Amino acid sequence: MTIDYLERATELLAKMPGVGRKSAQRMAFRIIALPSEYALELAEAIRALKEELKVCEQCFNFSASTLCGICSDAKRDPRLICVVEDASSIKNIERSGRFRGLYHVLQGVLSPMHGVGPDDLRCRELLLRVASAPIDEVIFALNPTLEGEATSAYLGELLKGSSCTLSRIATGIPVGGSLDYCDEITMASAIDHRRNF
């Protein structure tokens, strides 16, 4: 019976990115060795992630309430929208301190070979946002992968008819790289030197 519990935990942990069976098993052993408060806190933290943490209904950033901290901040400029792949990019752009508008999290990029099409992303919601409020500029800040570029091209084409300016951040960021590994100075300059579509 004990073996089954271990097996179950190992299997679940091995689903995490970058975690193989061996490391998953080591994690499970470590959890057994640590005081039970740790295990309970971990279990509670994981539960809260799924049940308490919500996404903002305007920008799809993680949020504890219906509108996230950025969307509900009156000092931010609602006429600027920065389109990002996921919430981790927001942290990065915020750290650069160069952007004072709002975000739109697509929750991924287009990738037909992985079965991800426009309907699997928050594309329609972006079009709605742009159509229903006065927006001056939409800035694309997707990772410089070919999927990121194709996604920018796709949305750029759909937004072409609207009155707002379309731009994308400059690529001081290495091609194929990720915004996650981009320092504040590079990011600030990428935003300052954004180019029109």
Give the binding site for other proteins (CB under 8 A): 110-113, 117-118, 146-147, 149-151, 153-154, 157-158, 176
CB contact at 8 A, 22 and 15: no
Segment near Zn ion (CB under 5 A); pick from 11-19, 37-45, 52-60, 106-114:
52-60
Pairing of strands 165-168, 137-140: parallel
CB of 10 to Zn ion, least distance (A): 37
Question: Per CB under 5 A, does 135 bind Zn ion?
Answer: no
The number of CA neighbours under 13 Å toward the Cβ of 77 is 12
CB contact at 8 A, 41 and 52: no
d(CA 186, CA 157): 27
Segment near Zn ion (CB under 5 A); pick from 6-14, 22-30, 64-72, 129-137:
64-72
The two most distant CA atoms of the chain are separated, in Å, by: 65
Which amino acid is it at 97? Answer: G
CB of 73 to Zn ion, least distance (A): 9
Going by C-alpha positions, the residue among 93, 179, 110, 105 that lies closest to residue 146 is 110
CB of 122 to Zn ion, least distance (A): 11
Q: Name which of 33 and 113 has its Cβ closer to other proteins.
A: 113
CB of 113 to other proteins, least distance (A): 5
Interface contacts to Zn ion, rule CB under 5 A: 56, 58-59, 61, 68, 71
